[in-house]
Chain A
């Protein structure tokens, strides 16, 4: 019989029950969703990295590595496996502006791939193993032939199989690209024997060209060239080509650095997987997920639980006489407590069950091949993993909810049955400190009434405020993130990049060799060199921008006219040295150390870098090779050359941000929807509570002759005041949250916090809109106030 009562009572409080369940679903769902997301990233990528033998360390040498070098490295105690490794970006013939990163892993014990379909890897093969995602986007099948351009030479490859690789899980052409574009850039593996064959052919062609140019007949030239290119020459070319050794080892970075120096007799640039773009970004995503998973959901869960406390208390007081009747009938306290605790249990179980479903949905929305991460990660596994700590938290929440109902009812059960039968009396009105302010007495009665009502029902007041502030935080955070990102893209497009095409130059190309090309293209150039600042890895960015094709900007996004008597530190390196102080750095692969004066700080878009002008580099005596040219010429007007390793339109570069912006937009939509739901649910629930708590007063006003509209105004004006207060407090809270979001979600860029006027307007209007919409929903109810009924009871 009590079960029947339970269900019927639950039905009579259906709006409260439904809103509490919705809050629980949101709280558990968001909590679980974000936590599952990072756990799944960790779990799936780890499995994939292990399977494809992702390298723990990469050693780089500008002059490449010999077989002997590899032997020495392999002999280091603690190095489990090592391979000479090459990854080079090659354009595809016949496919406009499409390129592949072609990898060669000599031993195939490190940095390998997972075969998805086709032939197994065979180190004697002439064929190519191609990224399945690239193949799918470009409709390439196993057995098809691909023609790649290697320094002006065309090479045909038959596709042996389709693959995925940990090394290219985030498949980016270079450090300027933010998001993969599986359609225009992919990766592939060829065998070392094929590499040797290519190098040999290339060398013979080059020698032949030289000889024919000198006047030798072609057939003779070919013969002579073939003879000249002997085993030794090929080996030398190979050694130069393998500019990296990838290895797997549990040693720490300093240990390895020391051992490498000891074995090879020189300092090499050692990059651990934590600094390698794929692992770093993947773990970065997991960390972002953790941050998101620790703060945002806690906000939702906290609001859900607080709503539960206020609402259950309200229901328990409304049920007080019922509780008294049960007690008077002879039900034991324990039975009554159990009966009412079941409400919390019911809400907890239903809310958690649906919340788990929502959490799974949110996780899948992010972590699935067609989800948000699917545009970023190219990997075979998309599971859904839950961090272990989530289970006790969910169980704990359900128990907490039951406990809340238990305690709310327990408070009503105190004393005798007769006490319990008496209706609930709200706290007597006392004068608050506000009354002592002289201005207070001048307020009109509606304002006084509302202020005192809030003081009297502090928890309702606080909860409403929390709801509005939460709504505002989510809106400002979400929309502000979008503003900041689009501001960043604007900056990149309009203030920094004034070129049409970026021309990537083959590695180790001296400035003298590129000079004719620079003049021909009327280009600016840039050089990236890996450096160590007292052990800290960064990039030295040497810029020559006399032609105005690229700009360096300061913290306020103003262009810096680079001076030649020192260097500029990017914002992330600000703590390394003050302006006017000297900073020391040494390029990897050399023993030279340079000391330069810090002239200022600049906003670096991608890399963590020290920037200086080419002249400053010359003055310091830094030897460098050119990495990229920037020109106004369109890529089609730039002739292919041995010096050019690739060309990239600015438009293409900007387009690579599109999917990044799309991800951002999805996040913004999720946040805005969450904000609106949160706002409506919390405010409606509390609005109804406020209405119920004041229904007797409202009925009195109606009897006295106040029109419904005027009473409605009274209710709405309270909400408007609360909304205004919430917006005033929520705006700075939102900006603080945004700052935190920018750091948490985009620490790899030096973003300037930007908030458009539209964001302020939309956030404020939407928050007010939600609040006023809810007020009207509640105020409409006052037309139905039963004056007669409300007047019968005593307060």
Chain B
């Protein structure tokens, strides 16, 4: 059963008479509980794809359906509600609120999410219970990213969207974070979409979507993806 469906979706930026297709008539479906990697060089349109799926932006043409709901023509407020209920984000630069403690950063989402999970338990799951009262600036990059994962999952969303989640980390920490991300997604039965240009991460995915010049070049389903330990980093 597909949880995400893109139907002829385009995103067009106009400057003067010039039209630029960031995405050009893209169509695909994603199944619930899968680990999806969107792969492509910079400028290919993968971030646009993620932004549309995450409800940060609306398509110029076409329809996006998530959990049976058309999100392509929602108002600003409805989009905010959609983001609050349906998607959890993990960013390259973590984007924690610097003035809130670790606990408060995770707890924060319970203000907007109706079926939020217990914040402390989530922090415990990412192994940072000792740092509950620390500020983000007192943590390492890897630790901050783990908190960011805890925050994303605490909302109890249907889909986890990750934009280069290991991009700012050294490779060892990156692998650890990635493992955690996948484990958590599996444990909580979440669909996970990662945007990256890192080919290695693609080796672990159930589905790999390759994007180039605003178009989908290929969609590959992997029957037996490798585990993080099996990938050569």
14 contacts between A and B (CB under 8 A): A452-B100, A700-B95, A702-B80, A703-B95, A704-B89, A704-B151, A705-B80, A705-B81, A706-B111, A707-B76, A787-B56, A788-B57, A791-B91, A791-B163
Residue in A445, A709, A795 whose Cβ sees the most chain B Cβ within 10 Å: A445
B109 within 8 A of A: yes
Comparing B31-39, B134-142, B191-199, the segment that makes contact with chain A is: B134-142
A794 close to B (CB within 8 Å) = yes
Cα distance, A9 to B78, chains bound together (Å): 37
Residues from chain A with a CB closer than 8 A to the CB of B76 are 707-708, 783
Chain B, range 129-184, C-beta contacts under 8 Å to A: 135-138, 151, 155, 163, 168
By a beta-carbon cutoff of 8 Å, the part of chain A in contact with chain B is: 426, 428-431, 445, 448-449, 452-453, 456, 696-697, 699-709, 783, 787-788, 791-795
Interface residues on B, range: 35 or more
Contact of A791 with B80 in the complex, beta carbons under 8 Å: no
Contact B97 A794 (CB under 8 A): no
Q: B113 contacts the other chain (Cβ, under 8 Å)?
A: yes
Asked whether, in the complex, the Cβ of A445 is within 8 Å of the Cβ of B91, the reply is no
Asked if A697 and B56 make an inter-chain contact with CB atoms under 8 angstroms apart, the answer reads: no
What 18 new A-B contacts, CB under 8 Å, besides A448-B100, A703-B89, A704-B109?
Answer: A426-B98, A429-B98, A429-B138, A430-B135, A445-B100, A448-B99, A456-B98, A696-B95, A697-B97, A699-B95, A701-B97, A707-B76, A707-B81, A709-B77, A788-B47, A788-B51, A788-B57, A791-B95
Among B81, B82, B112, B168, chain A packs the most CB atoms within 10 A around the CB of B112
Nearest 8 Cβ contacts at the A-B interface: A705-B84, A428-B137, A452-B99, A705-B83, A429-B135, A794-B93, A707-B80, A700-B95
Which residues of B are found within 8 Å of A445, using beta-carbon distances?
Answer: 100, 104, 107-108, 111
Q: Which residues of A contact B57 (CB under 8 A)?
A: 788
Contacts of B97 in A (CB 8 A): 449, 697, 700-701
What is the minimal beta-carbon distance from A705 to any residue of chain B, in angstroms? Answer: 3
Q: Which residues of B contact A (CB under 8 A)?
A: 47, 51, 54, 56-57, 76-77, 80-85, 89, 91-93, 95-100, 104, 107-109, 111-113, 135-138, 151, 155, 163, 168
Taking a contact as CB atoms under 8 Å apart, the answer to whether B98 and A706 are in contact is no
Give complex CA distance A428, B135 in Å. 9
Give the chain A neighbours of B92 by CB distance below 8 A. 792
Q: Which residues does chain A contribute within 8 Å of B81, judged by CB atoms? A: 705, 707
Enumerate chain A residues within 8 angstroms of B138, measured Cβ to Cβ: 428-429
Contact A456 B112 (CB under 8 A): no
- Shortest A433–chain B CB gap in Å is 15
Chain A residues, Cβ within 8 Å of B107: 445
With CB as the reference atom, state the residue of chain A lying closest to B77. Answer: A707
A445 to chain B, nearest CB (A): 6
CB contacts (< 8 Å) of B80 on chain A: these are: 702, 705-708
- Contact check: which of B85, B99, B111, B155 meets A456 at CB < 8 Å? B99
Judge whether A705 and B113 touch: CB under 8 Å.
Answer: yes
Known: A429-B137, A706-B112. A453 touches B83 (CB 8 A): no
A448, A707, A795: the one contacting B93 at CB < 8 Å is: A795
**Contacting residues, chain B, for A700 (C-beta < 8 A):** 95-97
Tell me the bound Cα distance from A794 to B95 in angstroms. 8
Known: A445-B111, A704-B108, A704-B109. A795 touches B83 (CB 8 A): no
- Closest chain A residue, CB of each to CB of B137: A428
CB of A403 to closest CB in B, whole Å: 31
Which A residues touch B54, using CB under 8 A? 703
Assembled-state Cα–Cα distance A140/B12 (Å): 83
Contacts of B100 in A (CB 8 A): 445, 448-449, 452
Among residues of B, the one whose C-beta sits closest to the C-beta of A709 is: B77
Distance of A509 Cα from B138 Cα, bound (Å) = 91
Which single residue of chain B is at the shortest CB-CB distance from A707?
B80
| Alpha-carbon gap, A788 to B82, bound state (A) | 17
Known interface pairs A429-B137, A708-B80; A449-B56 also in contact (CB < 8 Å): no
Give chain A nearest CB distance to B198 CB in angstroms. 17
